[in-house]
Amino acid sequence: MVAGHLQVKKGNYYLILNLKDENGKPIRKWISTGLKEKGNKKRAEEMLIEARRSHSLYQCNEGDELLFSDYLQNTWLPISEKNVETSTYAGYQGMIKSVIAPYFKKRNILLTKLAPKNIQDFYTEQQKRVKGTTAIHYHAVIHKSLKHAVLMDMIPYNPADRVERPQKEQFIAGYYSITQLQELFEKSKDEDISLLIRFTAFYGLRKSEALGLKWSAINFENGTIEINHTVTSTYLNGKKQTIQKDRTKNKSSYRTLPLVDNFKDELMELREYQKKMKKLCKECYHVEYEEYVFVDAMGELLHSDYVSRRFKSILKKNQLPEIRFHDLRHSCASLLLGCGVDMKQIQEWLGHSDYSTTANIYAHLQSDSKKVAASAMELALNFSEGHNKEDKGQ
């Protein structure tokens, strides 16, 4: 790793790296951190380590010979691992190793020679096989990685700034009608995820919120449920990992919902059943997950991919329309809107970060509800009767 140290100049931190020029002559390189001296020493030290690591690899590859694909995998990924959450890093790793790096490696494109057109061509090709949302994720990774390369003075500008960002298609959520939901509930009543299905659909929960529900979040006495913990699954270094967080997707996702009597009774029965199974199975029972509501008969935490597979299997077995498990959340929103609940209340019920998110997702449903409202106004004001008289020439 190249040598380097921090230097304060006019109240700001700078990175000083001891490098060699193209002739092997020692040179000192100054890099601005953009950080004020006060309160930023730790972050400046982290940036120094990142810069030393980046330039070490850069010089080992003789500068201009560093492939963009190698930069992504060997320089930027190790650095980003320390700065983002595990689930985010796993996403970066998956996109880079399976899609982005192989594409650019095949074309033998150097980091210093990467042009906007190379990136634009990549987006164009990817959008032939993936949705715009996925292409946007690719763009985010490429842009962020190149931003770091600019900061480290490895390239003069970010070529991703000069391309057209992939466009996101308008999302039309899938959902069940009330009749379809009732049929689903009836036909899945003997399945192991029956309660999970009904609970998720009723409260419009994200899968991570439902699987992350703890007994401590349920107040049987006051009749409330707190949504304050999530459980997700991801693949990191080829292995599945379960990520448990004492936080939700965003601040608005922290919410308290009413515990209705039907679920109250069923949940109390479930808790007693779990206690019975723990006593019966003894050391075979997975006590490490006993704080969670949705576990299997042996106390094992239900995993996201298992729930998705089981849900799909239940729909297929009962010849029900195919939807995703997440679409139970959209079905909840659809029913609320159909019952006259306004969009602001639906936003709060679902835990969306802002009103526009809810409005954008369910705009097509809102237009249907407006037609119902228009029909109701016509009836109330006898507009329909007036038209009928005109039609008859009266």
Q: What is the DSSP string of 130-199?
A: S-HHHHHHHHHHHHHHHHHHHHTTSSSS-GGGGSPPPPPPPP------HHHHHHHHHHTTTSTTHHHHHH
- 43 and 185 in a single domain? The answer is no
Does pTM surpass 0.75?
A: no
- Which domain covers residue 236, as residue numbers? 178-361
Integer Cα distance of 374 and 231 in angstroms: 43
Whether residue 11 is found in the same domain as residue 72? no
Winning range, highest mean pLDDT, from 76-85, 365-374, 383-392:
76-85
Same domain as 22, residue 141: no
* Residue that terminates a domain, selected from 60, 76, 106: 60
E strand or H helix at 14: strand 12-20
193-209 per-position pLDDT tens digit: 999 999 999 999 999 99
**Which is more confident, 190 or 37?**
190
Arithmetic mean of pLDDT, 42-58: 76
Q: With beta carbons less than 8 A apart as the criterion, state whether 248 and 254 touch.
A: yes
- For the cut 80, the answer to whether the pLDDT of residue 41 exceeds it is yes
| 118-176 pLDDT tens trace | 999 999 999 999 988 999 999 999 999 999 999 888 899 999 999 999 988 776 778 89
Out of 117, 143, 169, a domain closes at 169
Element (H, E) at 91: helix 86-95
Instruction: Count structural domains, the chain.
Output: 3
Enumerate residues 6+ apart whose C-beta is below 8 A from 310: 191, 192, 193
Whole-number Å distance between alpha carbons of 67 and 70: 5
The SS3 of residue 231 is strand
